[in-house]
Amino acid sequence: MLFRQLYEPESSTYTYLIGCEETGECVLIDPVLEAAERDLTVVQELDLRLAMTIETHIHADHVSSAARLRSLTGCKVAYPAMEGLACADIGIKEGEPVAVGSLSLRPLFTPGHTDTHHSYLLEQGGQARVFTGDALLIDGCGRTDFQNGSADILRRPNASESGPCRSIMKPKAAR
């Protein structure tokens, strides 16, 4: 597995690249429009093919580069299905894994920051990582006062009931 954490300073957003070394396919989780060219450069430097962009939720703090990356590479765009977005090629649902070559991301419904927020669990090589989007930040959590967010739901110990206890959490940077 190839993994890169990419940072976009204007929106304080982390984008995650996950690549399958066997197939050369990769995904970008929560890509930012202003960093689209940088992200494509990283994909090319790693000799990968961008298969999909995956969003944790609709973002109010930055514009996703999903549509731009799709127009440049032909990749698929994936959002949580409950968003009901016409621009999504793939609707992601908890319980329906997303393949990245031979790797598998397991969507976890983690509402609170927004009412449709999803995190993504990647278990590989005896190690688990959870990509939390804005549900969990370094030293905090995402706002819950818009997009039907709920602090009460966010504070639940395990909204998804399916997350592992020993995961390496991959939160975004706090603002």
pLDDT, position 110: 80
The predicted model scores a pTM of 0.81
Q: What is the pLDDT of residues 14-39, one digit of tens each?
A: 899 999 999 999 999 999 999 999 99
In Å, how far from its chain's centre is CA 78?
9
pLDDT along the chain (175 residues), means of 10: 94 91 97 96 98 82 85 96 86 94 92 76 89 63 53 49 43 49
Q: What is the pLDDT of residues 48-66, one digit of tens each?
A: 999 999 998 676 565 789 9
Residue 174, class by beta-carbon neighbours within 10 Å (0-12 exposed, 13-18 middle, 19+ buried)?
Answer: exposed
DSSP state letter for 93 = -
pLDDT, position 82: 80
pLDDT, position 136: 54
In this structure, the strands spanning 25-29 and 49-54 are: parallel
Assign a CATH topology to domain 2-170. Answer: Metallo-beta-lactamase; Chain A (3.60.15)
pLDDT, position 147: 55
